[in-house]
Amino acid sequence: DMKVTQMPRYLIKRMGENVLLECGQDMSHETMYWYRQDPGLGLQLIYISYDVDSNSEGDIPKGYRVSRKKREHFSLILDSAKTNQTSVYFCASSLGTGTTNERLFFGHGTKLSVL
Amino acid sequence: QQQVRQSPQSLTVWEGETAILNCSYEDSTFDYFPWYHQFPGESPALLIAIRPVSNKKEDGRFTIFFNKREKKFSLHIADSQPGDSATYFCAASPNTGYQNFYFGKGTSLTVIP
């Protein structure tokens, strides 16, 4: 069963706290992504990972960092969370063959509230 | 800098009508154009996609029209149903070997019975 799993589904943190969002996939996909979704702004790419320890900044990386030590896991870390990081965060994966017809598989999202 | 522009932001149609959602892009290296839909509380899921070797792609009631010269593409939903009510995102990906996807801001579609 092809699946991208995100934990937790909901998270409430206070400003200044550290946040760890976890993502796993069971499809042996090479490429993994972190997006955030805000009303009216669509999906904005935070980071993309092409494989273990091979990560690149997306469009809005400031305030975030990522870790990928195993192909199936990709973590998003917020050091000292800010209220403007309140959002829904989606992890996604794709096969990563380099062909231009790939499909993104999304997790169910993590709704983060920073108070 | 918005790589992919999408309009309208919201669209309401009657059941049975054709809904038309529009997108445009600037980067000529883009060569894969998927549409994703997202139902409330759900994650985005791939609906249909096109590569510029074609100017039209059909899948049931869903059709993508692609105009390479004008760098525009659109999604037509024929015979719209209330169950089509969702947010639709267009996206584009360059032919650079790795899959960076740039999404539009989305169109919220409501189909009235």
Q: What is the mean pLDDT of residues B4-18?
A: 97
Q: What is the pLDDT of residue A103?
A: 86
Q: What is the pLDDT of residue A2?
A: 75
pLDDT tens column, B89-112: 999 988 765 678 899 999 999 999
Q: What is the pLDDT of residue A100?
A: 54
E-state strands within chain B: 4-7, 10-14, 19-25, 30-38, 45-50, 56-59, 62-67, 72-77, 86-94, 102-103, 107-112
SS3 (DSSP) at A86: coil
Q: Which CATH number does the domain housing residue A50 bear?
A: 2.60.40.10
Q: What is the mean pLDDT of residues B66-81?
A: 96
| Of residues A42, A98, A106, nearest to B104 (C-beta) | A42
Report the Cα–Cα distance between both ends of chain B, in Å, rounded: 38
How many distinct structural domains can be found in chain A?
A: 1
pLDDT at B54 over 90: no
Pick the residue from chain B with its C-alpha nearest to A40: B105
How many distinct structural domains can be found in chain B?
A: 1
d(CA B100, CA B46): 15
Tokens (6 digits) for B27: 């980067």
Q: How confident is the model at residue B4 (pLDDT cuts 50, 70, 90)?
A: very high
Q: In B1-113, which ranges are continuous DSSP H helix? A: none
Q: What is the mean pLDDT of residues B20-47?
A: 93
pLDDT at B35 over 90: yes
d(CA B53, CA A43): 27
Distance from CA of B77 to the nearest CA of A (A): 20
For residue A93, count other CB atoms closer than 10 A to its CB.
29
For residue A39, is the peptide bond before it cis, meaning its omega torsion is within 30 degrees of 0? no
| Of residues A43, A96, A104, nearest to B46 (C-beta) | A104
What integer best gives the mean pLDDT of chain B?
Answer: 93
Do the chains contact at A96 and B98, CB–CB below 8 Å? yes
Q: Which domain holds residue A19?
A: 4-114
SS3 (DSSP) at B82: helix
Beta strand pairing call for B107-112 and B10-14: parallel
User: Cα–Cα distances in Å, from B67 out to A12, A63, B55, B70, B88?
Assistant: 45, 38, 6, 6, 19
Q: Which CATH number does the domain housing residue B96 bear?
A: 2.60.40.10
Pick the residue from chain B with its C-alpha nearest to A98: B97
Phi and psi at B22, nearest 5°, equal -120, 145
d(CA A26, CA A83): 32
Q: What is the mean pLDDT of residues A84-112?
A: 87
Interface test with A, best of B28, B35, B64, B99 (most A CBs within 10 A): B99
pLDDT tens column, A11-69: 999 999 999 999 999 988 889 999 999 988 889 999 999 999 999 999 899 999 999 99
Q: What is the pLDDT of residue A18?
A: 96
pLDDT at A78 over 70: yes
Q: Which domain holds residue B42?
A: 4-112
